[in-house]
Structure 1
Amino acid sequence: MDDGIVKGKGRTQVRLEALDTGNGICLCLTGGEAPHVGGMVLAAPRPSLTGQGTGCDVWTATVPGHKDVYLAQKAAEKLCKALEVNVSATVGIHIDGAREQELKTIEENAMEALDEYIAAVKSRREADGGSHHTG
């Protein structure tokens, strides 16, 4: 299933698009003035090293000179742990002359979109009888 969620407005607007394969999620977060591909992360669930809950192993790749991979990692880990599925996350959000508060707002918008997406997937799972399949 394809999902699109938009949070924020103007320079700090973020768009979340996700392809739920039924056996993992392909996430794309873009926004700002110049959406692009800046960083990619793959997260795979595993038992937490503390013995409580789910952790995840993470691999990253970044386009040289881009910092999008930091938000990609945060997003991929959040989805991976919450939904216990493999997640690939691609992020590309750019605004010229970004101020610290704008960067914070972008991250807040992205996390709000992720929370909405996670709630929707969990709701679908419940409707499907609690299946871990997310499709």
Structure 2
Amino acid sequence: MERHIEEQIIEKELSYTKLIVKIFRIGKDIHMTLQGGEKPHIGCVVLAVPRPSLDGNGTGSSTASVINVTGHKDEILCRWMAEQVAARENAVTVCCGGFHMDHITKEQILEVKKAAEEMIRTLLK
């Protein structure tokens, strides 16, 4: 298997805080952490396993299992990140972590989502 992702830390300044993604290999597998906001934490753990695409065009998809801490919504970011990386890298991928801001606005939530998407797309280029 050709390896694309190597150990790195990606930081993205937002208008009100910072988002950090750390990535490293464990053998052929990939481990990622996501953290940011006023109170970084572990709000979920996502395990994504690559699988053949349902349209029959080879690998290109993944299936995820999620463990959430009650009341946390970090799955939205971590699941998307893990599934994207697992499918693209054809590697079992774990993403865990959390982002928290008190009194966060809808616009700030969208900024976090956009930043996470940009970070993963940059990583997968």
Q: Which is helix-richer, 1 or 2?
A: 1
Please state whether the residue corresponding to 2:111 is helix, strand or coil.
helix
1:127 corresponding residue in structure 2: none
Correspondence for 2:118: 112
- The question of 1:21 aligning with 2:26 is answered yes
Gaps of 5+ in 1: 120-135
How many residues were matched structurally?
119
- In the superposition, the TM-score normalised over structure 2's length comes to 0.88
CA contact (8 A) 1:6 1:13 kept: yes
Corresponding residue for residue 87 of structure 1: 93
TM-score scaled by structure 1? 0.82
CA-CA distance at 1:100 after TM superposition: 0.5
State the identity %. 29
1:4 aligned residue (5, 9, 21): 9
For residues 33-62 of structure 1, give each alpha carbon's deviation from its aligned partner in whole angstroms, at most 9, with x where no partner exists: 111100110000010111124211210000
Counterpart CA distance in 2 for 1:65 and 1:40 is 14
Question: More strand by proportion, 1 or 2?
Answer: 2
User: Partner of 1:34 in structure 2?
Assistant: 39
Task: Mark the runs of 5 or more structure 2 residues left unpaired by the alignment.
Answer: 1-5
TM-fit CA distance, 1:70 = 1.6
Task: Provide the rounded CA distance (Å) in 2 between the counterparts of 1:37 and 1:31.
Answer: 11
**Which is further off, 93-102 or 52-61?**
52-61
Quickly say closer, same or farther: Cα 1:110–1:12, change in 2 above 3 A. Answer: farther
Moved over 6 A (4+): none
For the aligned residues, what is the CA RMSD?
A: 1.4
Using the alignment, how far apart are the partners of 1:114 and 1:27 within structure 2? 11
2: CA distance between counterparts of 1:117 and 1:39?
Answer: 21
CA distance in 2, matches of 1:85, 1:45: 6
